[in-house]
């Protein structure tokens, strides 16, 4: 292995330190998924079975996110690590680890030691700001965050003629968009600009382009497109409702009942000025990728001057002008500016409340903007002064880079191997309900079981996923099959499924128990700590 390769892989190892910690934390965590995470658990376990998902997670607007790529991505490490809910947490960390390594390796290949070292520091800072709890969270708006930074580096690499970068950009960008449509503006805008740059360069040097793009790369690119997009296209053609069509219709002009949208606060968008303030907050004033973290469920409200968005755009323009004789520097600034504008436009288009989990794309975009400005400026200066550092200088800089990257991982190492998984307060109570219900069903077998939520909310979805994991034959209601768990079997017209009625709160449980013919299957009373966290008493009933 050459010296360059040694340093390259040392940088990869440095950014993987918090990932290794996150995987260990996840596998040591006894976790019962509820709410969205319960549905994610069901979909991931369905990959490779008759219930293999063809589209993504449900959205609050009645359609599903474009594709199942995230389910397929998480399914492999989940099964390799044992298939438990804890393995699903670890799989999320593995996905971030792959993206972190991809970003560093792409930077090394495109920009050598300078860009590789800077990217190592940026990725390490991003992982530190996200935190271990984020890294083990398999929620679909979270899994693509680090991957979006890799995508931006790869799409830049592809714009400069790299087949490897183009294929990586197509794969990673597709996975991000399929996971959550919030990433689509950045992916589509930068992809389009990169395509224009690539065509322009190809016309200037077609012989070099043909030399790089041998048939193997073309075949690989088309195979990637087919594998990633065939499932949602099949669903569009064969499903009762074409999901991709609904997503496009919503993106073009909105959809749904105006009255219902108004009641839910979904009838208005964030708007350009408010979006610019949010991007200024997350990218300029207090870069989230550097200072993090924030509460995902907090409504994002920013008071920063919107016109400060001109600061990073001006910096990109200046560096691009100074480095205009180098197509790599110029393209980097152009794509970073495109990503910044696209994330602002995408944020402006958010309907309803701008929760922080809907604006997280600003984190990797901000990191990319800072990286491209820093690398571009350094490249221009080094070219002007014609300074070529001695090998000893590079070694010192490399050692310093690795030391800082590892130091950024110290909070994860020093956490003692702990992190709070998603909806942690509901985990143990829901696990108790699942165990009681599964034990009762073992003594009272049924051809199929349907979980009916009567106000239990997140616990009901946790019960559904837990019983499915335990091998209980689960069917779902028609509305659940339409959006929440598309493709799952529904109860037949003969009503043969046994209904499990899940209720919450002491009064509701008492009222259900008083009904003639009702049998209580499971009961859970939360501890004081759990009750303070919002966990209600739960009762599960069925007709005797």
Percentage of the chain modeled with pLDDT above 70: 91
Domain range for 488: 424-543
* Mean of pLDDT values over 457-484: 84
Q: How confident is the model at residue 352, as a pLDDT?
A: 82
- pLDDT tens digit sequence for 142-200: 999 999 999 999 999 999 999 999 999 999 999 999 999 999 999 999 999 999 999 88
Number of domains in the chain: 2
Average pLDDT over the chain, rounded to whole? 89
With 60 as the cut, is the pLDDT of residue 83 above it?
yes
Q: How confident is the model at residue 357, as a pLDDT?
A: 85
Last residue of a domain, one of 341, 368, 387: 387
Residues 283 and 351 in one domain: yes
Q: Pinpoint the alpha helices (H) of 299-326.
A: 310-322
Which residue is listed with tokens 């790529």? 69
Q: How confident is the model at residue 51, as a pLDDT?
A: 86
Confirm whether 529 is domain-assigned: yes
Confirm whether 150 is domain-assigned: no
Which residue is listed with tokens 């079975």? 49
Last residue of a domain, one of 369, 387, 405: 387
The encoded tokens of residue 526 equal: 């939360």
Confirm whether 244 is domain-assigned: no
Q: How confident is the model at residue 494, as a pLDDT?
A: 47
Q: Pinpoint the alpha helices (H) of 386-505.
A: 391-408, 410-413, 427-443, 458-469, 478-479
With 90 as the cut, is the pLDDT of residue 114 above it?
yes
Q: How confident is the model at residue 259 (pLDDT cuts 50, 70, 90)?
A: very low
- pLDDT tens digit sequence for 266-309: 668 899 999 999 999 999 998 999 987 666 556 667 889 999 99
Residues 429 and 529 in one domain: yes
- pLDDT tens digit sequence for 37-81: 999 999 999 999 988 999 999 998 889 999 999 999 999 999 999
Residues 429 and 518 in one domain: yes
Q: Are 339 and 369 in contact (CB under 8 A)?
A: yes
Confirm whether 487 is domain-assigned: yes
Long-range contacts from 484-487, C-beta under 8 angstroms, 24+ separation: 484/39, 484/58, 485/39, 485/42, 485/43, 486/53, 486/54, 486/55, 486/64, 486/235, 486/239, 486/243, 487/46, 487/51, 487/52, 487/53, 487/54
Residues 343 and 448 in one domain: no
Residues 328 and 378 in one domain: yes
Last residue of a domain, one of 358, 387, 416: 387
- pLDDT tens digit sequence for 406-444: 888 888 776 655 678 888 889 999 999 999 999 999 999
Residues 431 and 514 in one domain: yes
Q: How confident is the model at residue 544, as a pLDDT?
A: 75
Residues 383 and 464 in one domain: no
The encoded tokens of residue 396 equal: 């010192």
Confirm whether 484 is domain-assigned: yes
The distance of Cα 364 from the centroid of its chain, to the nearest Å, equals 12
Residue 201: CB atoms within 10 A of its CB come to 17
Phi, psi values for residue 62, rounded to 5°: 95, 0
Which residue is listed with tokens 């839910």? 264
With 90 as the cut, is the pLDDT of residue 253 above it?
no
Residues 368 and 457 in one domain: no
Residues 278 and 368 in one domain: yes
Confirm whether 184 is domain-assigned: no
Confirm whether 430 is domain-assigned: yes
Confirm whether 138 is domain-assigned: no
Residue 503: CB atoms within 10 A of its CB come to 25
């Amino acid at each position: 292995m050459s010296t360059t390769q040694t340093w390259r892989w040392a940088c990869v190892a440095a950014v993987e330190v918090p990932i290794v910690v996150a995987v260990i934390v996840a596998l040591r965590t006894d976790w019962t998924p509820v709410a969205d995470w319960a549905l994610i658990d069901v979909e991931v376990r369905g990959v490779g079975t008759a219930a293999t998902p063809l589209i993504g997670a449900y959205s609050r607007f009645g359609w599903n996110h474009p594709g199942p790529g995230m389910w397929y991505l998480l399914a492999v490490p989940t099964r390799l690590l044992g298939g438990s809910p804890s393995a699903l947490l670890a799989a999320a960390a593995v996905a971030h680890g792959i993206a972190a390594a991809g970003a560093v390796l792409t930077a090394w290949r495109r920009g050598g030691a300078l860009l590789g070292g800077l990217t190592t520091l940026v990725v390490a800072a991003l992982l530190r700001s996200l935190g271990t709890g984020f890294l083990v969270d398999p929620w679909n708006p979270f899994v693509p965050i680090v991957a979006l930074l890799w995508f931006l580096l790869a799409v830049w690499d592809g714009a400069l003629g790299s087949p490897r970068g183009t294929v990586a950009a197509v794969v990673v960008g597709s996975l991000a968009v399929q996971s959550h449509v919030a990433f689509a503006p950045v992916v589509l805008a930068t992809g389009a600009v990169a395509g224009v740059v690539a065509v322009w360069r190809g016309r200037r040097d077609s012989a070099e382009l043909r030399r790089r793009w041998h048939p193997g790369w073309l075949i690989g690119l088309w195979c990637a497109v087919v594998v990633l997009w065939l499932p949602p296209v099949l669903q569009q053609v064969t499903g009762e409702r074409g999901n991709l069509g609904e997503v496009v219709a919503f993106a073009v002009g909105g959809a749904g009942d105006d009255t219902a949208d108004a009641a839910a606060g979904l009838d208005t968008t964030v708007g350009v000025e408010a979006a610019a303030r949010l991007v200024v907050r997350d990218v300029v004033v207090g870069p989230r990728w550097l200072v993090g973290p924030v509460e995902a469920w907090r409504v994002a409200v920013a008071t920063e001057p919107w016109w400060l968005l001109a600061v990073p755009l001006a910096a990109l323009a200046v560096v691009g002008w100074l480095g205009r004789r180098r197509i790599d520097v110029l393209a980097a600034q152009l794509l970073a500016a495109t990503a910044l504008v696209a994330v602002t436009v995408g944020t402006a288009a958010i309907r309803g409340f701008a929760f922080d989990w809907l604006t997280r794309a600003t984190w990797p975009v901000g990191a990319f903007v800072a990286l491209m400005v820093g690398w571009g400026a350094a490249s221009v200066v080094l070219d002007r002064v014609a300074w070529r550092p001695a090998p000893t200088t590079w070694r010192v800089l490399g050692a310093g880079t690795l030391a800082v990257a590892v130091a950024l991982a110290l909070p994860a190492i020093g956490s003692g191997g702990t992190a709070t998984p998603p909806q942690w307060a509901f985990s143990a109570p829901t696990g108790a309900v699942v165990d009681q219900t599964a034990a009762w069903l073992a003594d009272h077998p049924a051809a199929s079981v349907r979980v009916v939520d009567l106000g239990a909310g997140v616990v009901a979805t946790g019960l559904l996923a837990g019983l499915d994991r335990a091998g209980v034959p689960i069917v779902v209601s028609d509305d659940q099959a339409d959006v929440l768990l598309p493709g799952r079997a529904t109860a037949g017209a003969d009503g043969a499924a046994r209904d499990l009625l899940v209720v919450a709160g002491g009064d509701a449980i008492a009222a259900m128990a008083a009904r003639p013919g009702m049998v209580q299957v499971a009961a859970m009373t939360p501890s004081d700590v759990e009750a303070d966290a919002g966990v209600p008493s739960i009762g599960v009933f069925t007709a005797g």
